[in-house]
Amino acid sequence: MKSLNTLMGKMAAVALFSLPMVTFAQQPTINNLRAYDKSGINQFETKKDADTKFDGLKVRIGAGFTQQFQSLSHENAGQPAAGAVKLYPRLAPGFNVAQANLYTDVQLADGIALNLTTYLSAKHHNESWVKGGYLQMDKIPFKGAIWDKLSSVMTIKAGHMEINYGDQHFRRTDGGHALYNPFIENYIMDAFATEIGAEAYVKKNDVVAMIALSNGLINGGVQKPLMPGSTTETAKRAPSVYGKLAYDKTLAEKTRVRVAGSFYANQNSGRSTLYGGDRTGSNYWFVLEPETATATANAFSGRVNPGFTNQITALQFNLFAKVQGLEFFGTFENAKGGTNAEKVAKLDKRSANQIATDLIYRIGQKENVFLGLRYNVVNGQMIATKADKQKIDRVAFAGGWFITDNVLLKGEYVKQKYTDYPTGNILNGGKFDGIVIEAIVGF
């Protein structure tokens, strides 16, 4: 898989520099594409514009680049247990490795578009790595009145793609693309996964309804299951079912409200990665990691994965409201599940709850400057086979300036702490704080 992704990344880079310069002078229009610049902020599912005309195949190349400066410090309660792992001792102010994404969007036919996303450089995979790709049909390619009527409200997405569970994934940082996120990092419990599947949407007036089916794995899997005891894709597996219902209403010229609810369920996954599917890594480096940590092996500092890899049922509810320049985004999430080992041992499913609130104030007629406050807390049984609960909470203050619609400079002060982790665990009494500054380009 690694060699295939590296080859595809090199081919994408060759294609990028082989395109005529006219491509960059004026980017072609791809129907219903969410823009990669400032105009894509606060967009969730893609728009439904069925009144489009096709005048030939078009290819659009986009990218996202980030460069960070980090000054964070960390500590924990110490490691009194003999032989316990020591905390990473070498944190100092400095620049993190730059990250880059490559986007290839193609208008294949009337109402039919293709997306391919490649991570050119990331914290977790610093070599080229294909995130995924999908086909989106906003027009069903059959003639007849019934198909025209369905095309006016239906959208179908299919491929190996980022699944549409929850609304928070529309606001998260994805490798080199950090322009949608007013903060530096994503949620503590970061719901994001790429799976092979298909999503069917009905978009009418202010309502969006979606139902979907996927293979429930970050990769494919054709191997014969090896149960019990396996924790890989060869374990007994079942498809994941997920869906969403949202109401998104513009009440006045600068007043908008969106309410959304999502679910995701799989009771027999070989290796579910709903809370561990990001192949780029977090945006805090080396905090609360062991002294032997490396960027690629310890790529998710600041996040906590509950490890619901075999059984998982997750619900997420979101509220977005914007009045003039004041913006609120809230999330409540509940997830239950466990590992294959817990299932074999017939242990009860563990559970975790997450609450997050973002308050953003965008300043000026063009809203080129913003200030933000985030509170994010997770409570639950985060350690496999442990019945006791842990708590992680984060407060972040952020500010940003859009120098142009494609260039953003933002910074954040963050403070995060860990409570009720057992003695000997590196997160016992853990906390970190400091600042991160990030420069972003997106087009």
Neighbours of 191 (CB within 10 A): 25
Domain 2-442 has CATH 1.20.20.10: no
d(C-alpha 443, C-alpha 440), whole Å: 10
**104 pLDDT higher than 90:** yes
Mean pLDDT on 266-276: 90
Question: Residue 422 and residue 341: Cα distance in Å, rounded?
Answer: 21
- Alpha carbon distance 351, 381 (integer Å): 6
How big is the chain, counted in residues? 443
Omega into 228 within 30° of 0, i.e. cis? yes
Measured distance CA(298)–CA(288) in Å, rounded: 10
> 227: pLDDT confidence band, cut at 50, 70 and 90?
low
Cα dihedral 264, 270, 275, 280 sign: negative
Smallest CA-to-CA distance from 188 within 44, 54, 288, 77 is with 288
179-188, 221-230, 231-240, 286-295 — which one is most confidently predicted on average? 179-188
Which DSSP string corresponds to 388-430? S-EEEEEEEEEEEEEEETTEEEEEEEEEEEEESPPTTSTTTT-
Q: Global pTM?
A: 0.89
pLDDT-based confidence at residue 288 (cuts at 50, 70, 90):
very high
**Mean pLDDT of all residues in 182-194:** 97
pLDDT at res. 228: 57
The answer to whether residue 380 scores a pLDDT higher than 80 is yes
Contact 364, 38 (CB under 8 A): no
Average of per-residue pLDDT across 314-328: 97
Q: What is the mean pLDDT of residues 286-300?
A: 93
**Which of these ranges, 128-137, 253-262, 295-304, 382-391, has the smallest mean pLDDT?**
382-391
What is the structure's pLDDT at 25?
A: 54
The confidence band for 401, taking pLDDT boundaries of 50, 70 and 90, is very high
Residue range 141-184, pLDDT digits in tens: 888 888 888 888 999 999 999 999 999 999 999 999 999 999 99
Which long-range contacts (C-beta less than 8 Å, at least 24 apart) are formed by 227-231?
227/340, 228/340, 228/344, 229/340, 229/341, 229/344, 230/270, 230/340, 231/271, 231/309, 231/310, 231/339, 231/340, 231/341
DSSP 6: H
Query: Which of 363, 335, 329 is closest to 351 using CA atoms?
Result: 335
* Structure tokens given for 4: 């295939």
- Please write the tens of the pLDDT for every residue from 20-75: 333 445 788 898 999 999 999 999 999 887 677 788 899 999 999 999 999 999 99
3 state DSSP class of 145: helix
DSSP classification of residue 153: T
Q: pLDDT above 90 covers what percent of the chain?
A: 71
pLDDT 10s digits, 408-422: 999 999 999 999 999
In the prediction, which pLDDT does 252 show?
Answer: 87
Environment class of residue 152 by beta-carbon count within 10 Å: exposed (0-12), middle (13-18) or buried (19+)? middle
Mean pLDDT of the 327-350 span: 92
Question: Average model confidence (pLDDT) for the chain?
Answer: 89
Residue 226 pLDDT greater than 50, yes or no? yes
Q: Which pLDDT does position 23 carry in this prediction?
A: 41
Lowest mean per-residue pLDDT among 346-350, 356-360, 377-381, 394-398 = 346-350
Which residue is listed with tokens 């409201």? 321
**For the chain, what is the radius of gyration of the CA atoms?**
22
Tell me what pLDDT residue 346 has.
86
Q: State the pLDDT at residue 271.
A: 85
pLDDT at 424: 84
Q: How far is CA 436 from CA 99, 308, 381, in A?
A: 15, 30, 30
The closest alpha carbon to 301, from 289, 293, 316, 318, belongs to 289
pLDDT at 16: 41
CA dist., res. 280 & res. 272, Å (int): 17
